[in-house]
Amino acid sequence: MKQIAVTVNGTRHEAEVEPRQLLVYFLREQLRLTGTNVGCDTSSCGSCTVLLDGESVKSCTLLAVQADGHEVTTIEGLADGDTYHPMQQAFHEHHALQCGFCTPGMVLAAVSYLKENPKPTEAEVRLALEGNLCRCTGYHNIVKAILAASGAEA
Amino acid sequence: MIPAEFEYEVAGSVDEAIELLGSREDAKLLAGGHSLIPAMKLRIARPGTLVDIGRIAGLSYVREDGDGIAIGALTRHQDVATSELLREHCGIVAHTAGEIGDPQVRHRGTIGGSVSHGDPASDLPGVLLTLDAELVATGPGGERRIAAADFFTGVFETALGPQDVLTEIRVPSLGGAGWAYLKFSRRAQDWATVGVAAVASNGGAKVGLVSMGATPLRASAVEQALASGADAAAAAEHADEGAEPSSDVAGSADYRRHLVRVLTRRALEQALSG
Ligand SMILES: Cc1cc2nc3c(=O)[nH]c(=O)nc-3n(C[C@H](O)[C@H](O)[C@H](O)COP(=O)(O)OP(=O)(O)OC[C@H]3O[C@@H](n4cnc5c(N)ncnc54)[C@H](O)[C@@H]3O)c2cc1C
Ligand code: FES
Ligand code: FES
């Protein structure tokens, strides 16, 4: 077992983990933050996306020990109290979710992307989502929501 | 899917990593983990110990060095793709790093991991071979430089010994030479079904191929045809000479032989007009 300290959604957690514990299961099973979903479990679908020090990563492809000393943001940590994060608000207003399974990963991937490219074109947004699959194929409204959150016209 | 049990050690320096590799049974380095962890989850890989080099300070950089550019082995694909220095002086490397996987993969995967893994479907090794890049490795006997042409020895096999750490990748400055890396894949985030790199040089071009055999390859027959005056279209007809592509879900060997000729023509047209 290894002792780790990870700051998740602003709260520091100290925990004992097996080295083989994946970050996503640490979040879901040890911290009970079940907003982060496991879809493919093979690094493809992006539904497990969280922010590591502000950047999107697939938490099914990270060991919890690799997050030791770092900051993780999950979908639970995005809103400011009762006020949605602008990206959550945009997803809500543009009906950018159907079953909602891919949504936490889509929102976090989009938050990370707008930090790298604050005013993307529609084509750029589509390319930036290459690591996130929506099994309901709701891509059009997801792209609209991200463009709206960026302040660009959809 | 959960990996099999292993011991986990954090290396604070390259020397410490080399020592840990030597003293532990069945130890493997962990960089970004984006080839190794998926393989461990599928239990294709079952290392006894993971030596995490991901926290070694000072192995992530892109800097001018002599008449070329030196890239630290732990530089992430994202940082290679967005490096101003590479974009200006060796744009093909930055461009290719941006074609790897997806943003999440590029936020974790490193250039050193891509090179050391020895996957013939990997993009950067084919480009580094085309550039005649140099790979710097440090082992128990000290540091040595390996030419890209001698580095990739087989499927998931390289010239690195069991206690070697790849520390730096050295690429030339291209000046104004034209270049292209064309990657054809079935889905946006996929590995290349076939990839072709071309860099204009001495009136002709250097050409490298991805996913056309057990290692990245130089398309020598294409390079020779160009040197003897053939145009891009005629030279590209030689692209699959000497290649031994395999058949898999992404495409049959015959399909790859066809595709590589098409992509080589397009890559040459792009590189030679640049
Ligand atoms: C969904 C997905 C899509 C991908 N798509 C592509 C793609 O399109 N094109 C592509 O080229 N790659 C692709 N990759 C692979 C990706 O580029 C990996 O980041 C890369 O192959 C390995 O780098 P890493 O830092 O993650 O290495 P790790 O996974 O940490 O290590 C890989 C291997 O290299 C060894 N190693 C690592 N660093 C060193 C070093 N400094 N010295 C010696 N040995 C070392 C390790 O021991 C291990 O054996 C993809 C990966 C995923 C998960
Ligand atoms: S569950 Fe992690 S990428 Fe699909
Ligand atoms: S909304 Fe159902 S998977 Fe995307």
Atom 40 of ligand 1, residue of closest alpha carbon: B166
Instruction: Look up tokens 């690429």; give the residue.
Output: B171
Please tell me the distance between residue A47's alpha carbon and the centre of ligand 2 in angstroms: 5
Name the residue with higher pLDDT: B188 or B130. B130
CATH 1.20.140.90 is held by the domain B7-52: no
What is the reported pLDDT for B188?
A: 79
Residue type, A41: D
Distance separating alpha carbons of residues B225 and B233, to the nearest angstrom: 10
Best CA proximity match to B240, nearest among B216, B214, B218, B261: B261
Mark out the alpha helices in chain B (DSSP H runs).
14-23, 36-41, 77-81, 84-89, 91-97, 103-106, 111-117, 123-130, 148-151, 220-227, 232-236, 253-273
For residues B54 and B34, the answer to whether their CB atoms sit within 8 Å is no
Burial of B121 (0-12, 13-18, 19+ CB in 10 A): buried
Note whether B5 contacts A: Cβ–Cβ < 8 A: yes
Q: What rounded mean pLDDT belongs to chain B?
A: 97
Going along chain A from its start, the domains and CATH numbers come out as: 2-76 (3.10.20.30), 86-150 (1.10.150.120)
CB atoms within 10 A of CB B188: 13
**With an 8 Å Cβ cutoff, are B104 and A52 in contact?**
no
- The residues of chain B that CATH labels 3.30.390.50 are 178-273
Among A61, A113, A132, beta carbon nearest to B34:
A61
Residues 6+ apart with CB under 8 A from B24: B7, B9, B48, B49, B51
What's the whole-number mean pLDDT along residues B125-135?
98
- Nearest residue in A to B188, CA atom: A130
Integer distance in angstroms from the first to the last C-alpha of chain A? 49
Please give, rounded to a whole number of angstroms, the shortest distance from the CA of A20 to a CA of chain B: 6
Rg (CA), chain B: 18
Contact A59, A50 (CB under 8 A): yes
Partners of A57 on chain B (C-beta within 8 Å) are 104, 107-108
Q: Which of B55-59, B109-113, B137-141, B270-274 has the lowest mean pLDDT?
A: B270-274
Instruction: Identify whether the C-beta of residue B136 lies closer than 8 Å to the C-beta of residue B177.
Output: no
CB pairs under 8 A between A and B: 78
Binned at pLDDT 50, 70 and 90, residue B102 comes out as very high
Using beta carbons and an 8 Å cutoff, which residues of A are at the interface with B? 2, 18-20, 22, 25, 41-44, 46, 49, 52, 55-58, 61-63, 65-66, 109, 112-113, 116, 127-128, 130-132
Q: Tokens for A38?
A: 């496991």
A59 CA: nearest ligand 2 atom: 2
Q: What's the CATH class of domain B62-172?
A: alpha beta
Chain segment B154-170, per-residue pLDDT in tens: 999 999 999 999 999 99
Whether residue B33 contacts residue B57, with contact meaning beta carbons closer than 8 Å, is answered with: no
| Per-residue pLDDT reduced to its tens digit, B36-95 | 999 999 999 999 999 999 999 899 999 999 989 999 999 999 999 999 999 999 999 999
- Average pLDDT of span B223-234: 97
Tell me how far apart the alpha carbons of residues B188 and B99 are, in angstroms, rounded to a whole number. Answer: 9
Q: What is the residue-level pLDDT of chain A in tens, covering all 154 positions?
A: 999 999 999 999 999 999 999 999 999 999 999 999 999 999 999 999 999 999 999 999 999 999 999 999 999 999 999 999 999 999 999 999 999 999 999 999 999 999 999 999 999 999 999 999 999 999 999 999 999 999 875 5
Res B138 pLDDT > 60: yes
> Contact B118/B154 with Cβ under 8 angstroms?
yes
Tokens of B54: 């991901």
For helices A86-93 and A139-149, what crossing angle results, to 10°? 140
Confidence band of B203 (pLDDT split at 50, 70, 90): confident
Distance CA B132, CA B181 (A): 15
- In B47-141, at which residue ranges do the beta strands (DSSP E only) sit? 49-52, 62-65, 68-72, 134-139
Cα four-point dihedral sign B64, B65, B69, B70: negative
Establish whether residue A44 lines the binding site of ligand 2, counting it when its CB lies within 6 angstroms of any ligand atom: yes
Encoded tokens for B248: 């898999």
Predicted confidence (pLDDT) at residue B274 exceeds the cutoff of 80: no
DSSP label at A59? G
- CATH code for B178-273? 3.30.390.50
Q: What stretch(es) of chain B map to CATH 3.30.43.10? A: 7-52
